């Protein structure tokens, strides 16, 4: 069971018209000034997005792309193979084409080419006649490949958001919000978000009368942002808020067919949430590279023919179903390893032929979340192993990897997620050094599962105004978690186990004084708490939601965890 911790141990009385709990949440999350609260609760596209030309090298980038557009040159677009990379490449390809340019796209195979620019791609772009190439969602670690491109007469523009090395690659220009000394005011854009800023600049310079069209790219920008687990604050909050609106009425035939085949009922009346992107849309896009080739997902997003898009969406759906089954089986294997060997260690290191390379990042993320420990899962090949890291907030993965760079073939990533390739002969040395770094940095951190609850509230606090106020905090995700509350000493009046295998719990809960009662549902809690029965007294942790059934609206507690009264 997770340890419960509280972000707001004591409620505050704050001035203003907001519900006191909403005001307390805003205060705890750092929105203390009126202007900050307005921008958070009511993000606006025109007011809250920064000028793309605030990027220190944007003028140079726009000028160089303009030369290719004016000359009719082929522009090469190299995208990474994950959802952020695929959406980044789509943003840039659509932008170049909308401006009358010619673009060719290359996305590497995850299993045989790995992350980052490579010689095979350079050969492809050279044969296509490109004089300019752009790397999307990658490129910061490709020093040798960019040197080779320069020798071939290719200018390289890096459009990325990953970790910036001490020595920069010799690119023509770099757009990366994390560059040292960068003048752009928001650092946490993903690859698709960074590509979007370039798209904004290009439309503003070369087709200002069409600049509003760039908003139709926000369905894929939002997808990339959520898929890459970017903090949903600041500019990202604006991009995702408006992106969800665009996604609900997307003109993109590929998305329309993905929704139809995947039975996702998204439309103008049922807007998807950031959670829907994270658990339904992004996994399907990522399934392409995990099980086949990411170009399948890119082609689907670019397809304008309904019949062809339907075929691609069905192929992607089949890959996603196979990915889901394989992921479950592999996660169980790694969990067994952790339980047997890593209970008293702070770093989980799983290496084996049984961990398919296509899904190692997914598995590392699941294990890191479940055990709250930095995790590395590697597929072991004949001479080299390749795989992914996922971390916890207290530990910066990429900084630690850099301290082991001499043992690696290549690596890249950011604070919470990274990838690497390593020769098998160096695995033991790497584990010893990296594990020591983790143990040192987390020596005072409890690496045990924990549940952070925003605050304990009273039954009388739960009113429609609170639910409405909390809804304004959406979109929820990294950096802006959905508020979790707790109630103490609730009486179980009714309990039902529902769903396949009695997986889920449905409760009727009553307050200690008997004056308030609530319906509650706990998805997947039936397996964890099969002994709960009528008459039990429980402390419950939950999020709040409006439940509409047969035209009647009521407040429902969506349970996250339960424990015996006072437990």
Please tell me what DSSP assigns to residue 208.
G
Q: What is the pLDDT of residue 567?
A: 65
What sign does the dihedral 120-124-127-133 (CA atoms) show? negative
Using CA atoms, how far apart are residues 163 and 176, in angstroms rounded to an integer? Answer: 9
Q: Helix (H, G, I), strand (E, B), or coil: what is residue 112?
A: coil
Class of domain 3-40+452-564: mainly beta
Dihedral angle, C-alpha 270, 271, 277, 282, nearest 10 °: 70
Using CA atoms, how far apart are residues 88 and 220, in angstroms rounded to an integer? Answer: 8
Among the listed residues 424, 419, 382, the one whose alpha carbon sits nearest the alpha carbon of residue 407: 424
Q: How far is CA 499 from CA 189, 432, 494, 524, in A?
A: 39, 45, 17, 9
Domain with CATH 3.10.310.30 in the chain: 342-441
Domain with CATH 2.40.50.460 in the chain: 3-40+452-564
Q: Helix (H, G, I), strand (E, B), or coil: what is residue 365?
A: helix
Topology annotation, domain 342-441: Diaminopimelate Epimerase; Chain A, domain 1 (3.10.310)
pTM for the model stands at 0.91
Question: Integer distance in angstroms from the first to the last C-alpha of the chain?
Answer: 11
Using CA atoms, how far apart are residues 315 and 262, in angstroms rounded to an integer? Answer: 11
Among the listed residues 63, 81, 60, 80, the one whose alpha carbon sits nearest the alpha carbon of residue 71: 63
Give 3-state DSSP helix, strand, coil % of the chain, rounded to 5: 45, 20, 35
502 touches 301 (CB < 8 A): no
Q: What is the pLDDT of residue 70?
A: 97
Which string of DSSP letters, residue by residue, matches 517-563? EEEEEETT-TTT-TT--TT-EEEEEEEEEEEEETTEEEEEEEEEEEE
CB atoms inside a 10 Å sphere around CB 467: 16
Environment class of residue 552 by beta-carbon count within 10 Å: exposed (0-12), middle (13-18) or buried (19+)?
A: exposed
Using CA atoms, how far apart are residues 543 and 523, in angstroms rounded to an integer? Answer: 12
Please tell me what DSSP assigns to residue 167.
S
Q: Looking at the domain that runs over 48-314, which CATH code has it been given?
A: 3.90.1640.30
- Below-50 pLDDT ranges, the chain: none
Environment class of residue 9 by beta-carbon count within 10 Å: exposed (0-12), middle (13-18) or buried (19+)?
A: exposed
133 touches 149 (CB < 8 A): yes
Environment class of residue 530 by beta-carbon count within 10 Å: exposed (0-12), middle (13-18) or buried (19+)?
A: exposed
CB atoms inside a 10 Å sphere around CB 68: 20
pLDDT digits (tens, 9 = 90+) for 65-124: 999 999 999 999 999 999 999 999 999 999 999 999 999 999 999 888 888 999 999 999
Instruction: List 496's β-bridge partners, or say none.
Output: 506
Q: How many residues does the chain have?
A: 567
Using CA atoms, how far apart are residues 485 and 560, in angstroms rounded to an integer? Answer: 9
Q: What is the pLDDT of residue 550?
A: 73
Which string of DSSP letters, residue by residue, matches 383-442? SEEEEEEE--TT--HHHHHHTTGGG-SEEEE-SSEEEEEEEGGGHHHHHHHHHHHHHHHT
Among the listed residues 554, 527, 553, 556, the one whose alpha carbon sits nearest the alpha carbon of residue 543: 556
Maximum CA pair distance of the chain?
A: 78
Domain with CATH 3.90.1640.30 in the chain: 48-314
Q: Is the peptide bond before 475 cis (omega within 30 degrees of 0)?
A: yes
Q: What is the pLDDT of residue 333?
A: 96
Please tell me what DSSP assigns to residue 565.
T
Among the listed residues 51, 117, 136, 66, the one whose alpha carbon sits nearest the alpha carbon of residue 96: 66
């Amino acid at each position: 069971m997770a340890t419960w911790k509280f972000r707001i141990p004591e409620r505050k009385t704050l001035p203003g018209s907001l519900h006191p709990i909403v005001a307390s949440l805003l205060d705890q999350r750092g929105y203390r000034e009126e202007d900050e609260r307005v921008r958070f609760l009511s993000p606006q596209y025109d007011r809250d997005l920064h000028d793309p030309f605030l990027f220190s090298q944007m003028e140079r980038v726009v000028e160089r792309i303009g030369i290719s557009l004016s000359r009719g040159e082929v522009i090469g677009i190299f995208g990474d193979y994950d959802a952020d990379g695929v959406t980044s490449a789509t943003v840039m390809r659509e932008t170049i084409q909308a401006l009358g340019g010619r673009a060719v796209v290359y996305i590497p195979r995850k299993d045989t080419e790995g992350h980052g620019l490579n010689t095979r791609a350079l050969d492809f772009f050279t044969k296509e006649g490109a004089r300019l190439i752009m790397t999307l969602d990658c490129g910061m670690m490709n020093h040798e490949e960019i040197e080779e491109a320069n020798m071939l007469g290719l200018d390289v523009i890096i459009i990325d958001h990953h970790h910036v090395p001490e020595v920069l690659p010799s690119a023509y220009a770099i757009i990366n919000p994390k560059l040292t000394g960068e003048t752009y005011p928001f650092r946490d854009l993903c690859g698709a978000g960074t590509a979007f800023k370039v798209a904004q600049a290009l439309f503003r310079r070369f087709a200002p009368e069409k600049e509003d069209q760039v908003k139709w790219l926000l369905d894929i920008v939002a997808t990339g942002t959520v898929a890459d687990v970017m903090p949903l604050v600041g500019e990202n909050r604006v991009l995702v808020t408006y992106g969800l609106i665009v996604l609900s009425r997307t003109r993109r035939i590929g998305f329309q067919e993905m929704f139809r085949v995947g039975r996702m009922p998204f439309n103008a009346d049922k807007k998807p949430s950031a959670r829907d992107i994270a658990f339904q849309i992004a996994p399907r896009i990522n399934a392409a590279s995990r099980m086949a080739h990411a170009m399948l997902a890119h082609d689907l997003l670019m397809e304008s023919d309904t019949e062809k898009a339907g075929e691609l969406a069905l192929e992607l759906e089949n890959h996603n179903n196979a990915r889901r089954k394989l992921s479950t089986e592999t996660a169980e294997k790694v969990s067994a390893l952790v339980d047997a060997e890593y209970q008293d260690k702070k770093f989980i290191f799983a290496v084996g032929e049984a961990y398919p390379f296509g899904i190692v990042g997914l598995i590392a993320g699941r294990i890191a979340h479940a055990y709250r420990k930095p995790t590395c899962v590697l597929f072991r090949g004949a001479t080299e192993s390749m795989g992914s890291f996922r971390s916890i907030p207290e530990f910066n993965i990429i900084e630690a990897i850099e301290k082991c760079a001499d043992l690696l073939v290549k690596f890249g990533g950011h604070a919470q997620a990274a990838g690497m390739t390593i020769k098998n002969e160096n695995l033991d040395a790497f584990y010893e050094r990296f594990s020591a770094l983790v143990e040192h940095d987390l020596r005072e951190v409890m690496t045990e599962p924990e549940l952070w609850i925003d605050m304990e509230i009273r039954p009388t606090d739960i009113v429609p105004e609170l639910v409405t106020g909390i809804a304004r905090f959406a979109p929820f995700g990294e950096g802006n978690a959905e508020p979790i509350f707790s109630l103490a000493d609730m009486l179980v009046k009714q309990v039902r186990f529902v769903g396949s295998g009695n997986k889920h719990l449905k409760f009727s809960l009553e307050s200690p004084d008997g004056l308030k009662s609530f319906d509650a549902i706990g998805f997947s809690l039936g397996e964890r708490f099969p002994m709960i029965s009528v008459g039990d007294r429980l402390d419950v942790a939950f999020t709040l939601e409006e439940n509409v059934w047969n035209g009647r609206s009521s407040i429902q507690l969506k349970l996250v965890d339960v424990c015996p009264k006072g437990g």
